[in-house]
Structure 1
Amino acid sequence: MTYVITEPCLDVKDKACVPECPVDCIYEGERMLYIHPDECTDCGACVEACPAEAIFYELQVPKKWRDFKAANVEFFAELGSPGGASDLGKTAADPDFVKNLPRHSE
């Protein structure tokens, strides 16, 4: 199990969760952030740090945002397991589901 970042992060990417992650498993796509399911240790530090309240434990993602679970899997299916987000930096690997969502006003 892992944590999943959902719709409130879309086009916001506050990144307050990133420095709280002790294993550097929060990756940046073009439009939002993603938590690597194999690298995450399920500590929950990111949940408390997220001002947008966008992060949920995988089994507790609200029904209206469950498509973000599949988007998270798809993001890492292509990216693999780089072993740390800070070394990789921002990628343009957002899944089509995320790319095709309406833009949030900034």
Structure 2
Amino acid sequence: MAFVITHACEGEKAGECIETCPVDCIVEGEKQMYIDPDVCIDCGACEAVCPVEAIYPEDEVPEDQQQYIQINRDFFKNR
């Protein structure tokens, strides 16, 4: 997985990330947006436009938000 959307997106769901993604790997869920790890090309376009700074490269997700890595994986596993 290249990028992960974290807690700042919960309830926010601004949508700039979806519009910017060149490979359509971002999906809107009930609570927040999610990045499909099998489709993401690690371009960083979404991270640059997120108005709430909720998107991080997987290896830079803050320690107190590490659970979002698994939350994101589970979202796509259950689809």
Runs of 4+ in structure 1 over 4 Å off: none
Is the partner of 1:34 in helix, strand or coil?
strand
Where structure 1 has 5 or more consecutive residues not aligned to the other structure, the ranges are 80-106
State the Cα deviation string for residues 24-46 of structure 1 (Å, max 9, x = none). 00001101000000100000000
Q: Give the TM-score of the pair, scaled to structure 2.
A: 0.97
Matched, 1:9 2:13: no
Q: Give the TM-score of the pair, scaled to structure 1.
A: 0.73
Work out the CA distance in 2 between the residues paired with 1:15 and 1:77. Answer: 22
Partner of 1:44: 44
Where structure 2 has 5 or more consecutive residues not aligned to the other structure, the ranges are none
Partner of 1:22: 22
Provide the identity percentage. 47
Count of residue pairs brought into register by the alignment: 79
In the TM superposition, residue 2 of structure 1 has moved relative to its aligned partner by 1.1
